[in-house]
A and B are shown apart, each in its own frame.
Chain A
Amino acid sequence: MNPAQLYSQPAAYLVVAAFLLATGIFGLVRRRTLIGMLISGELIFAAASLNFMALNRFTAPDQSVGQIAVLFIMGLAAAEVAITLSIIIAVYRNYRSIVSKELNELKG
Chain B
Amino acid sequence: MNSFPFSDWIVAAIFVSFIAITVTGALIAALTKRIIRSVCGLAICSLGLAGLFYFLNSPFLALMEILIYIGAVCVTVIFGVMLTEPDEPKPEQHTRPYPVISPLIAIAIAGGVFLGIAWLSLSANWQAPASIVSEGSVKDIGIRLLTTYSVPFELISLVLLVAILGALVIARSGRTKE
Which residues on A are within 8 Å of B, measured CB to CB? 3-7, 10-27, 29-36, 38-40, 42-43, 46, 49-50, 53-68, 70-72, 74-83, 85-90, 92-94, 97-99, 101
Contacts and interface: CB of A to CB of B under 8 A. Distances in A.
Contacts of A63: 57, 132-136, 140
Given A15-B121, A23-B26, A94-B174, A68 B141 contact: yes
26 contacts: A5-B12, A6-B15, A7-B55, A16-B23, A18-B113, A19-B114, A22-B111, A22-B114, A26-B30, A29-B109, A35-B81, A35-B84, A35-B86, A38-B80, A39-B35, A43-B45, A46-B49, A46-B69, A54-B56, A61-B133, A62-B134, A63-B134, A79-B159, A82-B164, A83-B163, A97-B85
A93 B84 CA distance: 9
Contacts of B149: 68
Interface of B: 8-9, 11-12, 15-16, 19, 22-23, 26-27, 29-31, 35, 38-39, 41-42, 45-46, 49, 52-53, 55-58, 60-61, 64-65, 68-69, 72-73, 76-77, 79-81, 83-89, 103, 105-107, 109-111, 113-114, 117-118, 121-122, 124, 126-137, 140-141, 144-145, 149, 152, 156, 159-160, 162-164, 166-168, 170-171, 173-175
A72 B9 contact: no
B43 to A, nearest CB: 10
Contact of B64 (A50, A65, A74): A74
Contacts of A77: 68-69, 73
B31 to A, nearest CB: 8
Contact of B73 (A20, A42, A72): A42
Contacts of A97: 85
Contacts of B56: 13, 53-54, 56-57
Contacts of A101: 89
Contacts of B29: 23, 27, 39-40, 43
B122 A11 contact: yes
Contact of A30 (B8, B68, B87, B103): B103
The SS class assigned to the B binding surface is: helix
B72 to A, nearest CB: 6
